[in-house]
Amino acid sequence: MANIPFPTVPYPPMEPPAHREKKMKVLALRMSRTGTMSLYVALKKLGYNSYHMAECSLDQRNGSLGLWTKAINAKFNGNGRKVSGADFDQMLWRYDAVTDIPCILFAEELMDAYPDAQIVLTTRPVDSWLSSMQRTFYAILSWKRWALLKFIDRSYIGLYIPLLRSSLSIWTGENWQDTSRLPTGFEAHYDQVHAAARARERKVLEFKVQDGWDPLCQFLGKETPDEPFPHVNEGDLLLGFMLLFSGCGWWAWQRKGWYGLLLLLLLGLRGGTLAEGMIIRGYLGR
């Protein structure tokens, strides 16, 4: 767990301030699996407090996953009031930069909510992106024991897994299991972001993480750090599992320590796969 580039202890319950204390400065609206964690780390090194799905998990004591789930249902399913403007500060009040899901599902809304924020897009070849999605998102969702874990931990896993599926459904036209539709969703997302930025006369930086610090720092007006640009290996399946679940591990163990034993008894490392064993160990914060 030592190499995970974000805290593993969840944030305590806190009330958002009446008004945002610092302006939102960066909207990194690129697709998941295009160097999101690398850019998350890079933005932190440049002095930003950056939001990522990992941060969303860490903030679950403040209902972050539930708030995003409501926002997704309102926008894409017509259930409830759509989130706009300062509504986003309920989830993002600590942060001055955002990246990854669920934020990228609200590109236009975030541009309107934070009109002075700079827009950044990272990308990668669609074929390698599709392969990465299959090794991570789809591998995670293929685990047949989610029904048990969602029953045990409805407040985290019971919300996290539907959010993951909702993202894929949006990118595949409501058929998240059909990976052949993902490339179309990939291209549509970038087209949408560029069109929304043009309509609002906003500049967009599009670059690859392999380009290093220079284009990002020049665009953001930051000095180039005297160290290599971070490259977090998100493509590794086991690391992907640990990144996705370490944020809730200690919280779940401290909150309901009894079901750590239940997980081991019911799933059993001996009878499960190596990946599942790594998830359990990460889930217990070991």
pLDDT in tens, the chain (286 residues): 445 565 556 778 888 888 888 899 999 998 988 888 889 999 999 999 999 887 887 787 788 889 999 999 999 999 999 998 889 999 999 999 999 999 999 999 999 999 999 999 988 899 999 988 888 888 778 877 666 766 666 667 778 888 889 999 999 998 999 999 999 999 999 999 999 999 999 999 998 888 999 999 999 999 999 999 998 765 554 444 444 453 444 344 445 444 444 444 444 433 444 344 444 444 333 3
Residue 72's pLDDT is 95
CA distance 21 to 221: 21
Residue 186's pLDDT is 94
Residue 233's pLDDT is 65
CA distance 222 to 48: 11
Query: In this structure, are residues 81 and 74 in contact, taking their beta carbons and an 8 Å threshold?
Result: yes
Query: In this structure, are residues 77 and 172 in contact, taking their beta carbons and an 8 Å threshold?
Result: no
CA distance 14 to 100: 23
Residue 124's pLDDT is 87
CA distance 160 to 14: 21
Residue 189: partners with Cβ closer than 8 Å, 6 or more residues away: 31, 104, 107, 171
Q: What is the CATH number of domain 26-283?
A: 3.40.50.300
Main-chain dihedrals φ then ψ at residue 41, nearest 5 degrees = -65, -40
> For residue 233, what are the CA distances in angstroms to 2, 95, 188, 236?
14, 24, 26, 6
